[in-house]
Amino acid sequence: MNCMTIQSTLSHKKNWKYDVFVSFRGETRNNFTDHLFAALRRHGIFAFRDDTKLQKGEVISEGLMEAIEGSQVFIVVFSTDYASSTWCLQELAKIADCSQVTGQRVLPIFYDVSPAEVRWQTGNYEQAFMKHEDRYKHNAEMMEQVRTWRRALTQVANLSGWDVKDKSQSAEIEKIVKEVTRILSPKPLSSVSNDIVGMESPVQELEKLLVSDSEDDVRVVGICGMGGIGKSTLATILYEKISHQYDVSCFVDDVSKTYGDCGPLGVQKQLLCQAFMEEDFQIYNLSLAANVIQTRFCPRKVLIILDNVDKGKQLEKLAIKREWVGRGSRIIIVSRDEHILREYGVDDVYKVQLLNHENALRLFCRKAFKYNHVTEGYECLTDSALTYANRLPLAIKVLGSFLFGRGISEWSSALVRLKENPTKDILDVLRISFDGLEDMEKEIFLDIACFFPGENEEYVNDILRIRGFYPDIGIRILIDKSLITRNQGSIIMHDMLRELGRSVVREKSPKEPRMWSRLWSYKDLSDALMENKAAENLEAIVLPKFVENMESCQKGQH
């Protein structure tokens, strides 16, 4: 398996050439600065590095100037001899100028000098400037340049930074990289796709579930909901928003697929590759992978998101345990099946809700019209489309995209056709949940889809017991898998799931109702019974007002 390589997130305000420009004196090249560059690289941060060990001349190159202008964040490593280098001082002056003009961030690091020594140019910095002033005392232009260097030192040294003298370099570097990551991280709700609406409140609610009374607690939260409702989108937005707060973060975007293609080891390797920015981990068995996860994650505050988990054994085999991650870590598991989440032992479950009408309309308009409002003449058709999609984001996007650019008559034709032939792109996503059911639960699902959406639960249970389907456990499983819900004593199924169930019944013989296992339409029932052929597969038919409707159908034929 080829593990994905995680690229750094660049600012959306400008096409920056580099994430970071590091200004440093050669004396730190083989120790602190080298470790800093390595840490930035591990976290996917693209840093410009000037590898010229002995710069020639007194004027920095045009290429170096462009590198400074093209970097989003500046790190300045002040060391004992920093001010003795005119090259470093010219870099600093340019950095200070860019910071003031364009707002690029500057992070000062005081390696073996105090902030005051840099700010007021005392000690070694005073001696360095005495030499500069003596050297250029007969050159008015260069003396003005020296004064510019002094102002730049004072300006940058006054900024909040890190005094790393006599401190653990590795610990301080981790803090620096964390701050750089935070600066580079985009604003999640403003930078995501224009197709995404109604996520502000769910993100805030989910963030509340991640909060713990103790900063040391490890918290595990589940996200569940029916297919196409926006679980993965919500998890992605949350990840972009909070990942910078953690020492290590990783998002496995399709656990079910990766597990099916490459087994649990494939998921574990993807997890490790993302977390530690390595192209591959040479691990060939689950035991070794579990050991590496435990030893590498245990000392760190980590964020792990596992998307599309569809079987409990996947979590069991992955061996991602809360006791194997550092204090303050968060694990988020996304699944259609709430039972999987509860079995794993999550602290809370966030159930993603359908869009409200306002957000459903806004999303549909963006897909169908490329505006935030309905085009004149399409008002009634838009209402019909939204009624069909019933606030499900996936259905709204697919339907809106299909209708974009089409005329009113084409819209009318398409919406009529959809009632008989639901969109395959939508049903394929929902079908995944149905295919994962055991045979008994499939039968219960089909009965509800064909006959009972919105019916009283007690009545439904009585019929299902007569059918021999053990509804008490069967209904619970369908609820856990986000295929139905309970509401005031009734069984509720989304219109798209109802259409899925009916399409499953029709799929083998779409134009021959007598071959179906269930008949819910009086017309289809009448057609099936009018034929002089046995309905061999028929298990159940619609009962209410059967005789009355049959008589109506027969009268209409004479």
- The dihedral through the CA atoms of 530, 531, 534, 537 has a sign that is negative
Concerning whether 91 is annotated as a catalytic residue, the answer is: yes
Question: In 3D, which of 18, 159, 149, 29 has the Cα closest to residue 92?
Answer: 149
Looking at residue 522, its amino acid is Y
The answer to whether the beta carbons of residues 425 and 500 sit under 8 Å apart is no
The answer to whether the beta carbons of residues 298 and 64 sit under 8 Å apart is no
Looking at residue 423, its amino acid is T
In degrees rounded to 5, what are phi and psi of residue 458?
-65, -40
Strand 485-487 with 490-492, pairing: antiparallel
The answer to whether the beta carbons of residues 210 and 202 sit under 8 Å apart is no
Which of these is catalytic: 62, 66, 69, 91?
A: 91
Residues forming a β-bridge with 76: 23, 108
With b meaning 16 or more CB within 10 Å and e meaning fewer, what string describes 454-487?
Answer: ebebeebbebbeeeebebeebbebbebbbbbeee
Polymer length of the chain: 558
Question: In 3D, which of 146, 184, 173 has the Cα closest to residue 45?
Answer: 184
With b meaning 16 or more CB within 10 Å and e meaning fewer, what string describes 306-345?
Answer: bbbbbbbebbebbbbbbebbbebbbbbbbbbbbebbeebe
Distances (CA, A) of 242 to 181, 239, 250, 346, 548: 11, 6, 12, 19, 61
Distances (CA, A) of 466 to 397, 444, 474, 540: 40, 12, 14, 12
Token pair listed for 399: 């339907």
Distances (CA, A) of 370 to 367, 390, 394, 403, 521: 6, 20, 17, 11, 38
Distance CA 94, CA 545 (A): 84
In degrees rounded to 5, what are phi and psi of residue 11?
-65, 145
Question: Active-site positions?
Answer: 91
